[in-house]
Structure 1
């Protein structure tokens, strides 16, 4: 891009737009940032390679091409959505190489051989060596092709709304799919209209130069892997827009620059163009600060999700876990009960609800049993049930669950309770077997010493609640 003012405006919007907050604020989404960096480096280096004859030749061009390939390789093995890079390069060449040739002939250009080789190697690794087992379990949204198509089109419309109107952007829950039950046909048509409008924009923007149309194409191409054409586990997330938005912000920058240029020709509004640009950047900046505050802690995340999505269970589950870990068990119970009433089947929610209800034996038992039934290999509810029965002196039941917990994944707590039960029953040999298992665990010397003391105590044996 030769217009530095447009480049600066686009870069500022890309940097401070609140749609970026999710990808930047959570360390779990750092792959989106890294993949985005490598994709942009790959595309920019390829552009430099294509323009090489004008600036350099020979080894200099070769370095740029190989650097682009290496960045594509790194992007692809950082995040699979980077596989769209060859498509971006093909569209770039179609717009800017100045040659009249058919699509098939252009696709067979030797410049793409390296990218095809990297893509084939990645697909072999992805599909054969380390296959993604979650893909087969992801179903169509709503269970039907029509509902799924309507939802993905509506999600596209919501993405455009969040980019164009940052002041309306709110945090999205994990694994979020917008509920379109009541008007799914109308919402699907609205999404289709937005997509059609964007295609018309591509055609119309040619008069502003090829860069504007290409930037919109860049946005659409980068959005394909996360568009739910192939169902994915997380239907909608703002971090999916991190890389695609680079293209749309260039288009917005060009459009704003043209509007501001026309305004500058009007004497009474000569300075309004610059004010509009500053206003747009400031709105994005203010909303980014506001949304970033919601990512300060699990409590602020939960509060934001509950406020923005009161019918989604995620906010209540996060709030329940925060309260549970903070020792506020009454508040934790209320939050987890709300999450479960909204459809949560997460064993962790049932487990922490059970542990928050230890003052009510029957409720605690019911929730812990539910946590165990939702996942037989989940050890925490086994230890929780063992402790519950232990505290109520029902040692026969406690042994059943504690033995299973030790067999699946031994830990300090399960070993400690089981040792005490065996010592209370006079089965020292069984207690020493459990101690031998505990010695192989990655536990500190203090914890091992305390387990030894549980065996070597003399006099009347008293049970000790060692916690979890």
Structure 2
């Protein structure tokens, strides 16, 4: 028999309490500004700053460089555009929405915990109802205050994680609450689930797994394979509509980005085969466990140097990660009959972390705390199951056991809340993010690049160059780091020193025009006009259309005295990006060509 609804047993007071707790621990993030990726995705994104949500539905989320590293998250970008209009571009509006969304998600996590406790009650025995309610409440409260969520909530662009989680959980709860009843109720529920899926998937790609989670909740309540088959048959129209929604968003993604995958592979995994990629991804599971149970050390960067040595992971880290993967899979598969609740929590984590883990495919990040937002629901589910198990153990032990357990739970929540409150101001600005990273993880390549930038601003070029070089040594495949190092050396006229970095840049990602521009400019500075022409021409063939590449090609022609070719190339650059500087340069070339023509005519006349 199916449950009467996902919210039964949660209680209005508990829901309000969890929501207030979530708001309270993140209240000091409301004063944060725009930090880190907020610049490119929100502040410097004309799609957002124009304040037109409809335009945001058909534009890349992260425009990047000529199609490189782009994403398609129409719901999140439309939400940012609307918030920009409503709050006049003030970061407070974005952070307010983040905090309110997190409070909503925490309440829904509590509801999901309550559902799971009911779903597995016949397998494990039902403790006192107060323990069951308390277990669900603890699960929701744990999610509300856990420090691993700070990056998603306290940083503006973390909103994509919040919308994706809110849509996913709402879809699950609506599904659980609308399966019973008349046909009209079921049809309305199906449409609502599909709408929630569109919001979740449109907010972030990771929400594509919602159908698998729907299958999981159906399996959790099934008592046999035949029962599950009957459930799936009854819900076939719902799954079919979800498939149609997912397919439509994938088609829209291809239409906007020009490809299914628009995101770069993280520099850590660049060029690696499946085996080597898995070896580098397994140690991340050790960090998953550490962040779940001991989130004292948080970081904005988990690339090599932080998560493991720059030279690669140690053998024990790979082995420990592999052991954790095996243990999670074993719990998901082997615990289904005797410990179904634990198996559901394990399956939740496996399903929601699959795409971000880099075990199946290479993604744009080896690890980021924000990607644990939806997967960490598994921790709340497990915690609720643990509290319920304590309730069963408490039978006959008297009220003092319950009081001690309650105080222990409050102490855990208090300690986690203090860490969250302490961490929130880290995301006040890009400066505070990098300052904290440099202080806590100076081995990070991001910290080294930030130090180099600071030294450069201070005029200490020698120290800046050394910091840049040490960063490249830590992660030699990171395009922006190598590119910035070469560009800095070029600007300081250390041309021979700049060359190996700029030559490496065009090898790392030949589809990015900026690397070719930098290398061609280097050739121009050294008076090697033919070589500059060759580099620019190769770049035009390898990368997408770029005004900068055509402009540098024009300068290579001009340097060689081929003014007509220089004019044609400059006109192409002007057509791609009609800037005032490009127009002025075209006028100069036209004047120079006219002067040459006039001199030639005068010489010819004099010869006559």
TM, length-normalised to structure 1: 0.73
Per-residue deviation, residues 220-264 of structure 1 (Å, max 9, x unmatched): 44334445552433454333321122243144245347759969x
Q: 1:102 aligns with which of 226, 231, 235?
A: 226
Moved more, 446-455 or 285-294: 446-455
Residues 220, 344 of structure 2: 8 Å contact kept: yes
Q: 1:249 aligns with which of 375, 380, 389?
A: 380
Q: 1:433 aligns with which of 554, 557, 568?
A: 568
Are the structure 2 counterparts of residues 309 and 157 from structure 1 closer, same or farther at C-alpha, using a change threshold of 3 Å?
Answer: same
Structure 2: where are the runs of 5+ without partners? 1-6, 15-133, 597-608
Hey, what's the Cα distance between the residues in 1 that align with 2:272 and 2:422? 34
Which position in structure 2 is the counterpart of 1:36? Answer: 165
Hey, what's the Cα distance between the residues in 2 that align with 1:90 and 1:410? 46
Note the C-alpha offset of 1:36. 1.5
CA RMSD across the alignment: 4.8
Task: Map 1:233-272; keep pairs closer than 5 Å.
Answer: 233=363, 234-253=365-384, 255-256=386-387
Residues 83, 119 of structure 1: 8 Å contact kept: no
Moved more, 411-420 or 350-359: 411-420
Note the C-alpha offset of 1:15. 2.8
Hey, what's the Cα distance between the residues in 2 that align with 1:425 and 1:217? 65
Aligned length: 445
Q: 1:119 aligns with which of 238, 243, 247?
A: 243
Which position in structure 2 is the counterpart of 1:465? Answer: none
Are the structure 2 counterparts of residues 8 and 342 from structure 1 closer, same or farther at C-alpha, using a change threshold of 3 Å?
Answer: same
Which position in structure 1 is the counterpart of 2:416? Answer: 284
Hey, what's the Cα distance between the residues in 1 that align with 2:206 and 2:383? 24
Hey, what's the Cα distance between the residues in 2 that align with 1:226 and 1:347? 21
Hey, what's the Cα distance between the residues in 2 that align with 1:247 and 1:292? 23
3-state secondary structure, aligned to 2:315: coil
Note the C-alpha offset of 1:193. 4.6
Are the structure 2 counterparts of residues 431 and 22 from structure 1 closer, same or farther at C-alpha, using a change threshold of 3 Å?
Answer: same
Q: 1:365 aligns with which of 492, 495, 499?
A: 499
Which position in structure 2 is the counterpart of 1:182? Answer: 315
Which position in structure 2 is the counterpart of 1:47? Answer: 176
> Is the aligned partner of 1:444 residue 2:579?
yes
Are the structure 2 counterparts of residues 67 and 223 from structure 1 closer, same or farther at C-alpha, using a change threshold of 3 Å?
Answer: same
Moved more, 300-309 or 430-439: 300-309
> Is the aligned partner of 1:65 residue 2:190?
yes
Hey, what's the Cα distance between the residues in 1 that align with 2:358 and 2:546? 41
Which position in structure 1 is the counterpart of 2:484? Answer: 352
> Is the aligned partner of 1:223 residue 2:353?
yes
Residues 539, 549 of structure 2: 8 Å contact kept: no
Hey, what's the Cα distance between the residues in 2 that align with 1:201 and 1:410? 56
Task: Map 1:322-361; keep pairs closer than 5 Å.
Answer: 329-357=461-489, 358-361=492-495
Structure 1: where are the runs of 5+ without partners? 462-468
Hey, what's the Cα distance between the residues in 2 that align with 1:310 and 1:103? 55
Which position in structure 1 is the counterpart of 2:144? Answer: 15
3-state secondary structure, aligned to 1:448: helix
3-state secondary structure, aligned to 1:244: coil
Residues 313, 339 of structure 1: 8 Å contact kept: yes
Note the C-alpha offset of 1:344. 0.9
Are the structure 2 counterparts of residues 416 and 326 from structure 1 closer, same or farther at C-alpha, using a change threshold of 3 Å?
Answer: farther
Hey, what's the Cα distance between the residues in 2 that align with 1:311 and 1:23? 24
Per-residue deviation, residues 328-353 of structure 1 (Å, max 9, x unmatched): 65444223211322341344433322
TM, length-normalised to structure 2: 0.58
Are the structure 2 counterparts of residues 67 and 432 from structure 1 closer, same or farther at C-alpha, using a change threshold of 3 Å?
Answer: same
Hey, what's the Cα distance between the residues in 2 that align with 1:187 and 1:60? 46
